Amino acid sequence: MTAYIVRRTLQAVLTVILVSIITFGLLHLLPGGMVRGLLGTHANPQSIAQLSAQMGLNRPLFMQYLSWFGNFLHGDFGWDYFKQQSVGSLIQGTIGQSMYIVGLSLVLSVLISIPIGVLQAVRRNTLLDHTLTFVSFVLWGIPTFLIAFLMLDLFVDQLGWIPTSNEIASFHDALTQPQAIILPVACLTLTSFAGYSRYLRSSVLDELTQEYVRTAIAKGAGRRRVLYGHVLRNAMIPMITLIGLSLPALVGGAVIIENVFNIQGIGLLTTQAALTNDFGVTLAITMLTAALTVLGSLIADLSYAILDPRVRLD
Amino acid sequence: MTTTPEEVLSPEPTSVELGLESVEKPRSMFRRGWEVFAENKLALAALVFLVAFILLCYLGPMFYHGNGTQSDMEAVTLPPGAGHPLGTDENGADVLAQFFKGGQLSLNVGVLGGVISAVIGTLYGAISGYFGGWLDAVMMRVIDALMSIPLIFLLIYLGMIWGHDATLMIWVIGLTGWVGITRLIRGESMVIKVRDYVAAARMMGGSGPHIIRKHILPNTIGTTIVNTTFSIAGSIFYLSTLSFIGLGLESPHADLGGMLNDGTQFVDQGYWWMIYPAAIAIILVILAFNVIGDALRDAFETRLQKR
């Protein structure tokens, strides 16, 4: 087990380093990109050179990378030249509500996908199964922003069930205004549960053909006991890996949701930074999100190994 | 197979009579695939819809001469009616004309971006799977890294660096969306490379690039075609998303998502014609590509079973 943990952790560290090289490298595909972004396209060469020197952009690329990544590891994410604030404090003020919404949606979509996936597997190839498959196929295909917009239009504008004047500007708002996060969380849940329920359906179907199911039935275990006591438990374990793999998509969905519902989270921060060509902020957030995602899938894989001893043997 | 008079009169025995050929002429894999595909009514409907939508967007402007870019302050936010079948926008420009143009842009960027993704993903996966060893290990670690960056961040980031016009968006989307295909092709490539005919080709001196071109790629064509379809759906999906949050294509050269970015600002005023035609078109087009991709996958899988 220790060997597995060490190997898997080293792999995660390597991934984070590669992500940092890729994101940092992309930024420097365009010569003077960062400075030109800040000063506008009509800046004169003199001011470009001056700001480049000030920001340390005239050093060799490798040295720039090392100092940037070193700072990043120490929690120094850079400076936002537009808002005149450190990127770290910007992230601190926004990451709470984003993680809250993502976390809540993740838990809800897993909880919803379990009964639906099991139901579809038990009633396989019935009208109900086909309908649910089709519904999740459609939900999976519609862009998140459209689901969000349609729900906003329906529940806020048409039906008036939820008041419009909700703005989530802090983690405190997210906690204290449940009515304002109902729709964002519902959207994110709707767009992400489909993948889980589809997986669970096939996973339960696989497990149902296993011999231990026949044994359990032969020993007189009831339908419910077989299904929830044996089959579901085994079918759920690989879900952990799937959840780890689906984290990037979920975080990506949150970016869109925050834009539509005007939640001052990390996704909206990214979009605003992109609109003002503030490369440093986008770079830092992209890097941080990827690092958190890697950490998430590391945790997923390690808990998988704890639950299923077969994994750590190979 | 109907018998022609010539065949009846022909003194020479046909190859069937001589037992040289199976009675039924072997059909090409695409023909067998099409038969399975055609049984899927939903997929046929999706195909018919897509063809109709493509014709509408490209041929529409030839018959309908509304102006989607010029502002006309006399005719601002008109509801659908005479002269403007889909009404006008906040600048008085014709929405139907914008819809044709937006549909074209969504399709162009979607298809080209999707194809670029598929080409990169297929080649990357084939090379990684065929050569294996340390090359494969390095290439797969890069994939791990790319997969852990949420795609939307990568898109926003590349869009910032390169800029936001239609041609650049094709590359931004094409260069980010290929990771999923790579893993599938890599898996198939690893299966194919241990087959006897590949071993034979290698023993006769076939180089790696030659074997990939002549054996690996042709044998993964099914997976490539299926995933190109999904990839096109994904490209249209992401282009509309980027445009919607203001980081993709903007009016007057907006795709369907960019039109929605404009239109949804007026949702409170009830200007539905600036929102729902584009919204429904995006949903149906993406759904159609996904349905077709699903049906193609069934078709190719059946082909494999019958072989």
Reported as half-sphere exposure (CB side, CA atoms, 13 A), residue B190 has a value of 11
* Minimum-distance CB partner of A153 among B156, B157, B267: B267
| Biggest alpha carbon–alpha carbon distance for chain A | 85
Peptide bond into B252 cis (omega under 30): yes
pTM: 0.85
Q: What percent of chain A has pLDDT over 70?
A: 92
* Minimum-distance CB partner of B244 among A19, A145, A150: A145
Contact assignment for B287 to A142 by CB distance below 8 Å: yes
As a whole number of angstroms, the distance between CA B251 and CA B83 comes to 22
- Beta bridge partner(s), residue B120: none
Q: Tell me the count of A-B CB pairs closer than 8 A.
A: 133
As a whole number of angstroms, the distance between CA A44 and CA B132 comes to 50
* Minimum-distance CB partner of B160 among A22, A149, A277: A277
- Beta bridge partner(s), residue A72: none
Q: Tell how far CA A247 is from the center of its chain.
A: 4
Contact status of B276 with chain A (Cβ, < 8 Å): no
The residue assigned the tokens 């939903």 is B42
Contact status of B191 with chain A (Cβ, < 8 Å): no
* Minimum-distance CB partner of B148 among A143, A256, A294: A294
* Cβ-based neighbours of B127, under 8 Å, separated by 6 or more: B135, B139, B212
Is 0.90 exceeded by the ipTM? no
Contact B287, B234 (CB under 8 A): no
Length of chain A: 314
Exposure string (b/e) for A150-169, b if CB count within 10 Å is 16 or more? bbbbeebeeeeeeeeebebe
As a whole number of angstroms, the distance between CA B79 and CA B57 comes to 21
Nearest CA in chain A to B283: A142
Q: Which among B109, B73, B113 has a CA at the least distance from the CA of B93?
A: B73
| Biggest alpha carbon–alpha carbon distance for chain B | 82
> What is the band of A165 on the pLDDT scale with cuts at 50, 70, 90?
low
Contact status of B120 with chain A (Cβ, < 8 Å): no
Contact assignment for B247 to A19 by CB distance below 8 Å: no
In the DSSP assignment, the letter for residue B212 is I
Contact status of B76 with chain A (Cβ, < 8 Å): no
Contact assignment for A274 to B156 by CB distance below 8 Å: yes
Could you tell me the two tokens for B139? 């290439």
Give residue A157's identity as a one-letter amino acid code. D
The residue assigned the tokens 């910007």 is A90
Contact status of B246 with chain A (Cβ, < 8 Å): yes
Q: What is the pLDDT along chain B (307 residues), one digit of tens a residue?
A: 444 444 444 455 555 555 555 555 666 667 777 777 888 888 899 999 999 999 999 988 888 877 777 777 777 767 777 777 777 777 778 888 888 888 999 999 999 999 999 999 999 999 999 998 899 989 999 998 988 888 888 888 888 877 778 888 898 899 888 998 998 999 889 888 888 888 899 888 888 889 998 888 988 888 899 999 999 999 999 999 999 888 888 877 888 888 888 888 877 777 788 888 888 999 999 999 999 998 888 887 765 554 4
Three-state secondary structure of chain A: CHHHHHHHHHHHHHHHHHHHHHHHHHHCCCCCHHHHHHHCCCCCHHHHHHHHHHCCCCCCHHHHHHHHHHHHHCCCCCEECCCCEEHHHHHHHHHHHHHHHHHHHHHHHHHHHHHHHHHHHHCCCCHHHHHHHHHHHHHHHCCHHHHHHHHHHHHHHHCCCCCCCCCECCHHHHHHCHHHHHHHHHHHHHHHHHHHHHHHHHHHHHHHCCHHHHHHHHCCCCHHHHHHHHHHHHHHHHHHHHHHHHHHHHHHHHHHHHHHHCECCHHHHHHHHHHCCCHHHHHHHHHHHHHHHHHHHHHHHHHHHHHCHHHHHC
Nearest CA in chain B to A250: B150
Separation in Å, CA of B149 to nearest CA in chain A? 5
Task: Name chain B contacts of A297, Cβ cutoff 8 Å.
Answer: 148
Contact assignment for B160 to A141 by CB distance below 8 Å: no
